[in-house]
A and B are shown apart, each in its own frame.
Chain A
Amino acid sequence: MSDTLWLIRKTLITTFKNYKNLLLYIGMPIVGILLASLIHGGSGETTLRLGIVNHDEGQTVTEDTVQFIKQLDHVEASGIKESEANDLIVSGELDAVLIFQGGFAESLRSGKPESVRIVSIKGTQVTGYVSSYLNAYIDNLATIGRTVQGDAASFDVIYNGYRQADFELSKTMVEDRSVSQGMTKQTIGYLLIFMLFSAVNLSGIIIKEKENRTYFRLLASPISARTYVISNVIVNLFMMMIQIAVTLIVMIRMFDIDPGIPFWQMFLILLLFALVAVALSLVIVAFAGSSMAASALQNMLIMPTCLLAGCLFPIELMPASIQRFAEFLPQHWLLDTFSKLQLGSSLDSVLLNLGILLAFAAALSLIAIYKFGRNRDMRSYI
Chain B
Amino acid sequence: MNVLEINKLTKQFGDFIAVDNLSLSIQDGEIFGFLGANGAGKSTAINMITSLLPITRGQIEILGKNIVKHSKFAKANIGIVPQELAIYEDMTAYENVQFFAGLYGLRGSLLKSRAEEALAFVGLEDKHRSYSKNFSGGMKRRLNIACAIAHRPKLIIMDEPTVGIDPQSRSYILNSIKKLNEMGSTIIYTSHYMEEVEEICTRIAIIDHGKIIAQGTKQQLKAIITNQKNISIEVRSVEQLDVEKLRDIVGVNTVELADAVIRISSDAEINNLNKIIQQLMASGMEIRSVEADEPNLETVFLTLTGRSLRD
Contact = CB atoms under 8 A, between A and B. Distances in A.
B147 A221 contact: no
Contacts of B105: 2-3, 222
A212 B86 CA distance: 6
Interface in A209-255: 212-214, 216-223
B147 A217 contact: yes
A218 B103 contact: yes
B139 interface: no
Interface string A9-26: 010011001100000000
A216 B52 CA distance: 7
B99 A217 contact: no
Nearest to B73: A222
A14 B88 contact: yes
B50 interface: yes
Interface string B80-95: 1011111111110001
B83 A382 contact: yes
Nearest to A227: B103
Interface string B6-42: 0000000100000000000000000000000000001
Interface in A60-98: none
B86 A222 contact: no
A167 interface: no
A221 B100 contact: yes
Contacts of B91: 14
B159 A217 contact: no
Contacts of A3: 103, 105
B128 to A, nearest CB: 16
Contacts of B159: 382
Interface in A350-382: 376, 378-382
Nearest to B90: A14
A264 interface: no
B75 interface: yes
B47 A378 contact: yes
Given A220-B51, A220-B75, A18 B82 contact: no
B145 to A, nearest CB: 12
A6 B107 CA distance: 10
Contact of A379 (B44, B99, B103): B44
A382 B103 contact: no
Contacts of A222: 71-72, 75-76, 103-105
Contacts of B90: 14, 17-18
A18 B71 CA distance: 35
A221 B84 contact: no
Interface in B58-87: 71-72, 75-76, 78, 80, 82-87
Contacts of B52: 216, 219-220, 378, 381
Contacts of A212: 85-89
Interface residues of B, number: 38
Given A378-B53, A379-B47, A382-B46, A213 B82 contact: yes
Contacts of A2: 105, 107
B107 to A, nearest CB: 8
B102 interface: yes
Contacts of B107: 2
Contacts of A220: 50-52, 75, 78, 80
B103 A223 contact: yes
Range class of the A interface residue count: 20 to 34
A13 to B, nearest CB: 8
Contacts of A213: 82, 84-86
A10 to B, nearest CB: 5
B202 interface: no
A203 to B, nearest CB: 18
A272 B42 CA distance: 47
Contacts of A223: 103
B53 A217 contact: no
B305 interface: no
B232 interface: no
A3 B72 CA distance: 12
A213 B53 CA distance: 15
B130 to A, nearest CB: 15
B169 interface: no
A10 B99 contact: yes
Contacts of A378: 47, 52-53
Contacts of A18: 90
Nearest to B84: A213
A216 B53 contact: no
Interface in B151-206: 157, 159
Nearest to B43: A382
Nearest to A223: B103
Nearest to B159: A382
Contacts of B13: 379
A217 B44 contact: no
Given A10-B99, A217-B100, A218-B103, A381 B76 contact: no
Interface string A173-186: 00000000000000
A382 B83 CA distance: 6
B53 A379 contact: yes
A217 B103 CA distance: 10
A6 B88 contact: no
- Most central of A2, A380, A381 by chain B CB within 10 Å: A381
B43 A221 contact: no
A89 to B, nearest CB: 63
Contacts of B50: 220, 381-382
- Most central of B51, B103, B147 by chain A CB within 10 Å: B103
A280 B44 CA distance: 33
A222 to B, nearest CB: 5
- Most central of B53, B89, B102 by chain A CB within 10 Å: B102
Given A214-B87, A219-B51, A223-B103, 17 more contacts: A3-B103, A13-B95, A14-B90, A14-B91, A212-B86, A212-B88, A213-B82, A217-B86, A218-B103, A220-B51, A221-B100, A222-B71, A378-B52, A379-B13, A382-B43, A382-B82, A382-B159
5 contacts: A2-B105, A221-B100, A378-B52, A379-B13, A382-B82
Interface of B: 13, 42-44, 46-47, 50-54, 71-72, 75-76, 78, 80, 82-91, 95, 99-100, 102-105, 107, 147, 157, 159
